[in-house]
Each structure stands twice: as structure tokens, then as C-alpha cells.
Amino acid sequence: MPLLWFLLIVALTFLGLLAITFVIGRVVPIDPVLAVVGDRASRETYEAARIAMGLDDPLPVQFFRYVADVAQGNLGRSVSTGRPVAEDLARVFPATLEMATLGILIGVAVGVPMGVMAAARQGSWTDQIIRVVALAGYAIPAFWLGLVGLVIFYARLRLVGGPGRIDIFMDGMVPVRTGLLLIDSLIAGDMRAFRSAWSHLVLPATILGFFSLAYIARMTRSFMLEQLNQEYITTARVKGAPERVVIWRHAFRPIRVQLITVIGLSYAGLLEGSVMIETVFSWPGIGNYLTTALLNADMNAVLGATLVIGAVFITINKGSDLLYRLLDPRARA
């Protein structure tokens, strides 16, 4: 019964997402018909295209047709590329997934120890420095940090690759298996392409990881401080337990389940919020695709990308919530 209730909530959430994207497509000041026929088309051509697109039907009919099309994987055709939007999204989403995945791994690997260290040394210089770093992750604009990173590490020091996902002369040389360029290059045994892809990926992923670790470190510190003030921690210290054991075994273990939700939300945020980074680095991901579609008034592409981003956020959010309940008996109760 709880599983059925969970699935019902997920289904209703997705239906709400479909309703929101449908409304967005109807209220934005962009005429989808003009995007297809052009602003020089005759009135007869305009009306014929409007009828062919089903825009003359009542809104409830249009909505149910929209839901049916999405259920069949039909997101319409992109005016910009001339291809089905679903095909375009399947091509660009792995690039965003690859960058966001490396970013969240960096955020977790650095942010969690930083948060634990800050809580263990509350009020010290270490705590103050970590809090400033976390605050910087909230305050510094992503596009500015991306541009500064390119100037320093690419233009000046030549330590990383520049904009794009791989060197231009290697573009298209790696057979597409998963869409994840690092994995595809390893499958193909092309270490030169792997090194090129890694050099282009490491800087934008590190910048995303910086914004992620700021949130993760802050939340980890908050969770740890709550645990360190509990009586069982005082008891462990009175019994003579080493501080390292008190911190990592007694205080950190209870917060691991809470961190699952924090990491899940941060990961979803990276997947949906990497538009600026992808624009700065000319990264061929879903954020760059969405930006281009907006500039070209390509509403099918805009709504399709928005729908996918929302679906990813819902899936990760609900998945982390389910995992939280499975790992914590108190949540199930």
C-alpha cells in the first residue's frame, strides 16, 4: 500500500509538471505558428498551419492531446534543428549528465569532509574559512567564475582544454555508445580522445562541484553540530573514546541518511541549473540547447527541455526520498 501511494504521488507530480509546461507554452508571448511559417506568410497559410497544429481546438482538448503525445515520447519537432525534440534531447542530455555527475562527485568528496571538519572545530579559524568558502559558493556568479577559470587555467596556464566537449579535430571520431564521452572513448580504446575529453570536462565540472560543495558542506556542518550536542556524544567522550571515533563513528553515522536527501537535491540542481556554465564553456548539453531554443523562439524545444529537466528533478527527489525511507526505520514509522 505505501508503494502504491508513493507511485500515485509521483504520477500526480508528473501530471502537474505536464500542466505547468502546457500553460507556459500558451501564455508566453511567442506565437508557435509564426515560428513555423514565418512572419511573411499569408493569412491563409497562417490559419492552415494553426489548424494543422491543433491550436484551434479548445484548451482541454489540446492538453489531453499533449499528455498523450508525451506519453508516447512525442515532444514535437524542433524548428531550429528540424529534428524531433526527443531525438535532440537524447543527444544533448548525456553531456549534461556527464558534467553534473563529476561535479556532484567532487562536491561530495570535498564538501562532506569540510562540513564535518567545520563542525568538529566550531568557532576556530578552520570553521571560519570553511564557512567563507561555502558563502562564496552562494555569492559568486557562475558565469563570472567560468570566465575567470577559462582565462587562468586555459588561456594562461594551458592546464585544461578550452570550450567544447573535445578537441575540434576529434569531434565525431569516438563511436557513440552511451553518449558519455569518457566512457565511450574508453570503450573504443581511444586514450587520446579520453585525455582530450577529460581536459575539457574537468574545469566546468570542478566549478559545478564548487557550487555543490558549498551547499553540501553547509548542510553537513549543520547536521553534525546537532549530533555533537547530543548526550550520547558526551557519554562517548567521558568513556575516553578517541575524538576521531566520536566524530566519524558516533556523530557522522546518524547523519548519513539525511545527507542522501541533500546530495540528491544538489545533484538535481546541477542537472537543471548548469545553463550558465554550459553557455560559457560552449558545452553541448541540455542547458545550452535550451538557451539556443529560447533565442530562436523554438517553443517545442523549450517545453521539451523544460519537461525533461523537471522530470529529472522529480525522479531524483522522489528517489532520494524513497531511499531515505528504506534506510531509516524512523521515516518508515
pLDDT tens digit string along 281-299? 989 999 888 888 887 777 7
**Minimum mean pLDDT among 40-54, 98-112, 207-221: which range?**
40-54
Q: Where residue 48 falls among pLDDT bands split at 50, 70, 90?
A: confident
**Dist CA 216 CA 228 (whole Å):** 18
Report residue 316 as a C-alpha cell.
531524483
One domain for residues 229 and 295? yes
Q: Where residue 71 falls among pLDDT bands split at 50, 70, 90?
A: confident
**Dist CA 138 CA 135 (whole Å):** 5
pLDDT of residue 55 exceeding 60, the answer is yes
**Dist CA 103 CA 96 (whole Å):** 10
Q: Mean pLDDT for the chain?
A: 85
Q: Which of 65, 63, 91 minimizes the C-alpha distance to 78?
A: 91
Q: Which of 296, 293, 226 minimizes the C-alpha distance to 259?
A: 226
One domain for residues 123 and 47? no
- The confidence score (pLDDT) of residue 221 equals 94
Report residue 74 as a C-alpha cell.
512525442
- The pTM score is 0.85
Q: How many other CB atoms sit within 10 Å of the CB of residue 294?
A: 16
Enclosing domain of residue 231? 86-332
One domain for residues 143 and 281? yes
**Minimum mean pLDDT among 41-55, 79-93, 274-288: which range?**
41-55
What would the mean pLDDT of 128-136 be, rounded to a whole number?
Answer: 91
**Minimum mean pLDDT among 1-5, 16-20, 275-279, 295-299: which range?**
1-5
One domain for residues 107 and 155? yes
**Domain tally for the chain?**
2
Report residue 76 as a C-alpha cell.
514535437
In a domain? residue 104:
yes
Give percent of the chain with pLDDT exceeding 70.
Answer: 95
Give percent of the chain with pLDDT exceeding 90.
Answer: 33
In a domain? residue 243:
yes
In a domain? residue 79:
no
What would the mean pLDDT of 32-50 be, rounded to a whole number?
Answer: 76
| Tens of pLDDT, residues 181-221 | 999 999 999 999 999 999 999 999 999 999 999 999 999 99
